[in-house]
Structure 1
Amino acid sequence: MYGKEAAFISAGGYHHHIGLNTWYSEGASPAPINSAGLFHIAILYPSRNDLAIIFERLLKADYPLTGASDHGVSEALYLNDPDRNGIELYWDRPKELWPQKPDGSLDMYTRHLDLNDLLSEIIKSS
């Protein structure tokens, strides 16, 4: 954190991979939803357990989700930041577990993500 004006996100000990700030936008209205600009960012977590941990933190903070999906190849949580920018938090299943059609091609889909099952991942890894 850099006071209340900025936050820096990192992994693996690096000082920051993503920097967020309000230096020019503080007090401004969010961008209109149906306009050009950022649709969403996607942040890849290394494991299902890591996704479960961040989901638990969001629950404890009472931060609302806008969606949660199982795409066959990945599981994803969707939320909006305070400026209504979309954020996708997800993990990829190992490629050998990706669903395939009878012809061997990839069979991606969008289904409801069982959030209770996701949370149970934390218990399994403890």
Structure 2
Amino acid sequence: MSKAPDAMTIGHVHLRVSDLERSVAFYRDVIGLTVTQHYGTDAAFLSAGGYHHHVGLNTWMSKGAAPGPKRQPGLFHTAFLFPDRASLGAALKRAISLGVEIEGAADHGVSEAIYFSDPDGNGIEIYRDRAEQDWPRNAEGGLDMVNAPLDLDALLAEAE
């Protein structure tokens, strides 16, 4: 059986949304992405760092639709990896200041993560990884991830 190359990464997520401009505002203002292109009036692409797009949004089959049921198969969340604790704290501060309801937060040992939803109910995770040498390991050397509480006040105190 062949495997994916070690250098492979996930390039982007493309979401069906009900209101394009509302979703563009969310991913721009809350997550901090930059609009790279509008594709007509029904799609837009956003990114960080000048990449062509990390997030695609469209209303091709979903304009004005209600969010789908939570208890059905589908995307659980899209995760946005921040480079350090200060930038993650700044993203959390931005989300709170824009009225985003924080649905959860956890210290996973390998990472620190905050969870909320976009305007269409799509799950969002913002997180930062710890250095690989600091990841918790079990006796056999495998990952030993946890789901411990995350101190949001301490994270906010480190905001840029």
Structure 1 residue 59 and structure 2 residue 96: aligned? yes
Aligned partner of residue 20 in structure 1, secondary structure: strand
TM-score norm. by structure 2 comes to 0.67
Structure 1 residue 9 and structure 2 residue 49: aligned? no
Mapped to 1, the partners of 2:156 and 2:86 lie a distance apart of 8
Deviations 1:89-116 (A, max 9, x none): 1111001111234554432100111001
The amino acid across from 2:70 in the alignment is: I
Deviation, 1:67, is 0.3
Once the two structures are superposed, the pairs formed by residues 34-45 of structure 1 within 5 Å of their partners are 34-45=71-82
* 1:115 paired residue number: 152
* 1:100 paired residue number: 137
Deviations 1:38-97 (A, max 9, x none): 121111111111111110100110110110100011000101112211111111100111
Pair 1:77–1:37, CA change in 2 (3 A): same
Moved more, 69-78 or 103-112: 103-112
The amino acid across from 2:124 in the alignment is: I
Mapped to 2, the partners of 1:63 and 1:14 lie a distance apart of 26
Percent of aligned pairs with the same amino acid: 52
Detail structure 1 runs of 4+ shifted over 4 Å in the superposition. Answer: 1-7
Aligned partner of residue 107 in structure 1, secondary structure: coil
TM-score norm. by structure 1 comes to 0.83
Q: CA RMSD in A?
A: 2.2
Mapped to 1, the partners of 2:44 and 2:82 lie a distance apart of 19
Deviation, 1:6, is 4.8
* 1:46 paired residue number: 83
The aligned length equals: 123
